Amino acid sequence: MNLGDRKKLILQAIIEDYINTAEPVGSRTISKKYLTGTSPATIRNEMADLEEMGYIEQPHTSAGRVPSDKGYRLYVDEIMEQKRLNDVQTDLIKKQFLDTLGEIDRLVKNASKLLSQMTQYTSIILTPQLKRTSVKQIQLLSINNKTVLAVIVTDAGIVKNCVLRVMSDVSSELLEKLNNMLNSKLVGLCMEDLQSLSLDDIARNTMPHGEIIEQLLPELIQTLIYSDTVDIHLDGAANILNLPEYCDIQKAKSFLNVLEEKELLFNVLSKSDSDMNVSIGTENQYEQFHNCSLITATYKINGKTIGSVGVIGPTRMEYSKVISIVDCMTHNLSEILTKILKG
Amino acid sequence: MNLGDRKKLILQAIIEDYINTAEPVGSRTISKKYLTGTSPATIRNEMADLEEMGYIEQPHTSAGRVPSDKGYRLYVDEIMEQKRLNDVQTDLIKKQFLDTLGEIDRLVKNASKLLSQMTQYTSIILTPQLKRTSVKQIQLLSINNKTVLAVIVTDAGIVKNCVLRVMSDVSSELLEKLNNMLNSKLVGLCMEDLQSLSLDDIARNTMPHGEIIEQLLPELIQTLIYSDTVDIHLDGAANILNLPEYCDIQKAKSFLNVLEEKELLFNVLSKSDSDMNVSIGTENQYEQFHNCSLITATYKINGKTIGSVGVIGPTRMEYSKVISIVDCMTHNLSEILTKILKG
DNA sequence: GTTAGCACTCGTGTTTATCGAGTGCTAATT
DNA sequence: AATTAGCACTCGATAAACACGAGTGCTAAC
């Protein structure tokens, strides 16, 4: 299983050259640019071995070699050296977050934009999800006599609004009572708990306002749950058209179409639970990504995972660079979000 | 200036055929498919006239004719008959809105998605903008001792949150006083007024809490103004790759790049103040759209324009169809938004 | 005013030839 | 035994040559 050192060097050369050029790389190139001490013929022999082992492939007889998914995997796991971001890049990311105090969604979207700019691939990002966060405070406000606004603050510091319509008028005293009641019943519950919450549990103990509660609560909960549908945000979709593998309009189109399947992206991204995940070509669960690679990572508030970001690119991706960037990004994002929460 | 009837028919034939096929259309085609009673030669003569008048163009000597921007303009203004949506399509739009009770942003984004699906072009939409709406109610909530949440309800029924950090602790009594004060001072002002609001005016009359107000108010206003930056939402960008004019990857790329210039799109869309605007090719203010056409329209709450939607496509756009769809869409959108507001 | 006929243009698609990068294999070299 | 030089072979890419045909403008006849 363990390749010889020279084989590794050759595989590394093939992969890194292919990442740069998108052209099959031949023995002569390697001999000239990477292993200057070794003749093409020797390299050819090694390459034949590497091909037999499945790390590289030949598009056609008279072409150079191209890395296979298996090859990229070995490269990511064992060969590539983790590139460190230079200070300029790190600062860029940090500065980005300093500029974006304010709404969390905007923060997250800006992160996505920067991510696509820095990587030159397509970035996707999942806006914070509240499932695992709990209700900290609820405040009902009367908008007009038939409309009530519920503001919910979660322990992750995220604020959600629900506009609720009620049949009968709600006086301000009643509103306050309802408010207290809701707080006493719901505070501390996480979004998931809300889903399974039985209406009876609440209504039973609040006879006087039973009918209002019965009207209001389901709508409140439903809106909350519904509004928890996280948003997928994309950036840099056009970047992929710079890549030679998408010079074929058909391929470009199918790629872009995949990017518009928001549910698919959601699944892919929300599945990623480990801190950093690299999925190469056919390793990917979904067929649509079989000739892409996907690097995903999660970001957290107070240690709780609440969202994730990802970069989609060709299997010929600058893994080392992208991983560093995504890593730096999620860490900064987590840090700033946690800081915002704590005030 | 006024073309003969036959010239109009021929122009119409050229435009409609070109819209369908994206191929230059020749005299023979017109004679066979559109003006069966007239010979190709006659049509050629007419076409020569139309070309001289600038309504059509010839890509190269031995090709058919292609409409010019001027030609499309005439077509839109005088020739084309307003297509009426069939019931299925109208229902689709109406049903769409029924399904999407809840958050306004989501509603608007879904509208955009449907728009791109129905037109098969790219749709853009501006989320509701509050500049012209006024503050109806403000409620401060304490999140923790250093953080205050301000919830602002506008007269358009849109809710905005601002998370404010304050230096010194704020007791609940103080919070209530501040709350009352803010309401008395700010309610009724529109977002634009807020911008020019002098801090002194407020602080002067509220000596006891001067320093808190001085801290809190600017941040509140700034966040409000900042959060009023409307969001641009895109859908169906990949649709344009189905069009033969974008088979050239370079063109496709430059188009997609334009779509990622959010500020540009914002300008284009927010400039559109009339109910329905068609801008064809070089008519467009921005060079980037010189070989696109843009159909924009506004939507309203209670008669106040608060946002706009648009469709971007090739100059060879199905104007009639798209105009109908956009029209139906904005009217329904306005209606449902107004209804939501009124409860 | 309309139409038929015809020579001309020019983009498109096809065929054919050439080129060259890269390979695998064998034999010579270290 | 590992490395390397040499060589015949493969095959995609590029370019040149060519035929095709859709479409035009013009002229002359209807």
For chain A, the first-to-last Cα distance in angstroms comes to: 53
Could you tell me the two tokens for B341? 């507001």
Contacts of B139 in chain A (CB under 8 A): 139, 141, 151
Question: What local confidence, expressed as pLDDT, does residue A185 receive?
Answer: 82
Rg (CA), chain B: 26
Average pLDDT over residues A290-302: 92
pLDDT band at A159 (very low <50, low <70, confident <90, very high): confident
Digit-coded pLDDT (tens) for B188-239: 888 777 777 666 666 556 556 666 677 777 777 777 776 666 788 889 998 9
Whether A253 and B238 lie within 8 Å, measured CB to CB: yes
- Please tell me whether any atom of strand C lies within 7 Å of the Cβ of B247: no
Phi, psi of B238 (to 5 degrees): -70, -20
Q: Which residue of chain B comes nearest to A109, CA vs CA? A: B231
- Closest Cα to residue A64, out of A44, A78, A37, A91? A44
Strand D: which residues have Cβ below 7 Å from it? A 37-39, 41-42, 45, 60-63; B 23-29, 40-41, 44, 47-48, 51, 58, 61-65
* pTM greater than 0.85: no
Using the CA of A45, give the nucleotide whose C1' is nearest. Answer: C24
Question: What local confidence, expressed as pLDDT, does residue A103 receive?
Answer: 65
Whether A238 and B256 lie within 8 Å, measured CB to CB: yes
Amino acid at position A17, single letter = D
B121 lies within 8 A of chain A by CB = no
Distance CA A222, CA A160 (A): 13
SS3 assignment, position A264? helix
* A contact test, residue of B115, B146, B153, B226 with most A CBs within 10 A: B153
Q: Which residue of chain B comes nearest to A246, CA vs CA? A: B249
Using the CA of A61, give the nucleotide whose C1' is nearest. Answer: D10
- Supply the mean pLDDT for chain A: 85
Better-predicted residue by pLDDT, A209 or A176: A176
Question: What local confidence, expressed as pLDDT, does residue B103 receive?
Answer: 65
Burial (Cβ within 10 Å: 0-12, 13-18, ≥19) of residue A116: buried
Question: What local confidence, expressed as pLDDT, does residue A96 receive?
Answer: 77
In sequence order, the 6+-apart residues with CB closer than 8 A to the CB of A97 are A107, A111, A332, A333, A336
The spacing between the Cα labelled CA in B251 and the C1' in D16, in angstroms, equals 29
CB A90 within 8 A of CB A324: no
Question: What local confidence, expressed as pLDDT, does residue A207 receive?
Answer: 53
Instruction: Say yes or no to pLDDT of A202 above 70.
Output: no
Digit-coded pLDDT (tens) for A91-136: 888 887 765 545 677 788 889 999 999 999 999 999 887 776 778 8
A190 lies within 8 A of chain B by CB = no
Instruction: Say yes or no to pLDDT of A338 above 60.
Output: yes
B143 lies within 8 A of chain A by CB = yes
Digit-coded pLDDT (tens) for B12-50: 999 999 999 999 999 999 999 999 999 999 999 999 999
Digit-coded pLDDT (tens) for A239-271: 988 888 887 777 888 888 899 888 899 999 988
Question: What local confidence, expressed as pLDDT, does residue A75 receive?
Answer: 96
Question: What local confidence, expressed as pLDDT, does residue B98 receive?
Answer: 67
Strand C neighbours among A 36-65, CB < 7 A: 40-41, 44, 47-48, 51, 58, 61-65
Whether A102 and B226 lie within 8 Å, measured CB to CB: yes
pLDDT band at A210 (very low <50, low <70, confident <90, very high): low
Contacts A–B by Cβ distance under 8 A:
96
Whether A260 and B235 lie within 8 Å, measured CB to CB: yes
Instruction: Tell me which nucleotides of strand C come within 7 A of a protein CB.
Output: 2-5, 8-11, 20-26
Query: Is the C-alpha dihedral spanning B319, B321, B322, B323 positive or negative?
Result: positive
Whether B343 and A253 lie within 8 Å, measured CB to CB: no
Whether A256 and B238 lie within 8 Å, measured CB to CB: yes
Using the CA of B42, give the nucleotide whose C1' is nearest. Answer: C2
Distance CA B26, CA B33 (A): 11
Average pLDDT over residues A294-304: 91
Instruction: Say yes or no to pLDDT of A63 above 70.
Output: yes
Digit-coded pLDDT (tens) for A5-55: 999 999 999 999 999 999 999 999 999 999 999 999 999 999 999 999 999
Helix H or strand E encompassing A22 = none
Per cent of chain A over pLDDT 90 is 44
CB B99 within 8 A of CB B338: no
Contacts of A161 in chain B (CB under 8 A): 151, 159, 161
- Closest Cα to residue B247, out of A250, A124, A129, A302? A250
Contacts of B155 in chain A (CB under 8 A): none
Whether A153 and B143 lie within 8 Å, measured CB to CB: yes
Distance CA B90, CA B331 (A): 11
Question: What local confidence, expressed as pLDDT, does residue B191 receive?
Answer: 75
Q: Which of A56-65, A230-239, A302-311, B165-174 has the lowest mean pLDDT?
A: B165-174
Digit-coded pLDDT (tens) for B132-161: 678 888 888 887 777 788 888 877 667 777
Distance CA B64, CA B66 (A): 7
Burial (Cβ within 10 Å: 0-12, 13-18, ≥19) of residue A196: exposed
Digit-coded pLDDT (tens) for A316-337: 999 999 999 999 999 999 988 8
Whether A161 and B161 lie within 8 Å, measured CB to CB: yes
- Closest Cα to residue A78, out of A12, A176, A154? A12
- Closest Cα to residue A302, out of A339, A328, A276, A343? A339
